[in-house]
């Protein structure tokens, strides 16, 4: 069993700040924990907009506090986000994520797991997992 507390992640290398200050993410579970997914808490700062496009990952995001919205760039549809909203990026959906009046507190999981060494590229993507093909085969049965 692994037990971690937010207090020990804040200020460690598991806490990652966006270069532009739009978000901060605490990575509770990473690839080397060998869970098959990674698990993050991401704070999206109020009033910010971030372009994200996870071309190599599936991600589920659940909001537990604050407010904001997600714009699906394929359809143009804007979905409000508040405590209790979940979105699943099951089709590598390119999107804009906006913080609202308050900072938004999001719980996120990735498949394949984030290793912790990725950086968002200019498209808002992360590099593929070293065994991305195996994960894809499992997802697609
Ligand atoms: C909201 C969202 O997509 N969070 C992803 C995780 C975060 N950007 C990180 O840990 O790098």
* pLDDT recorded at residue 121: 56
Q: Please give the number of the atom of ligand 1 that sits closest to the Cα of 118.
A: 11
The CATH number of residue 56's host domain is 2.60.120.10
Structural domain includes residue 42: yes
* Distance in angstroms (rounded) separating the CA atoms of residues 76 and 49: 15
pLDDT: which is higher, 121 or 8: 8
pLDDT digits (tens, 9 = 90+) for 74-121: 999 999 999 999 999 999 999 999 999 999 999 999 999 998 877 655
Range of 87's domain? 6-140
* pLDDT recorded at residue 119: 64
For residue 69, the CA-to-ligand 1 centroid distance in Å is 15
Supply angle C-alpha 113, 116, 119, rounded to 5.
105
Which of 14, 57, 108 for a ligand 1 pocket mutation test, highest count of atoms within 8 Å of Cβ? 108
For the residues 41-49, what does the mean pLDDT come to?
98
**The model's pTM:** 0.93
- Cβ–ligand 1 distance for 25 under 6 Å, the answer yes
Number of domains in the chain: 1
């Amino acid at each position: 069993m692994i037990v971690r507390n937010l207090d020990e992640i804040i200020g460690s290398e598991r806490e990652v700040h966006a270069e532009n200050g739009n978000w901060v993410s605490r990575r509770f579970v990473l690839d080397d924990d060998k869970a098959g997914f990674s698990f993050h808490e991401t704070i999206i700062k109020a009033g910010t907009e971030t372009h994200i496009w996870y071309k190599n990952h599936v991600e589920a995001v659940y909001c537990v506090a604050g407010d904001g919205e997600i714009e699906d760039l394929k359809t143009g549809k804007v979905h409000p986000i508040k405590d209790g909203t979940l979105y699943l990026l099951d089709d590598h959906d390119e999107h804009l994520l906006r913080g609202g009046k308050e900072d938004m507190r999001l719980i996120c999981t990735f498949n394949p797991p984030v290793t912790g060494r990725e950086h968002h590229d200019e498209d808002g993507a992360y590099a593929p997992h070293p065994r991305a093909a195996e994960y894809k085969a499992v997802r697609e049965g």
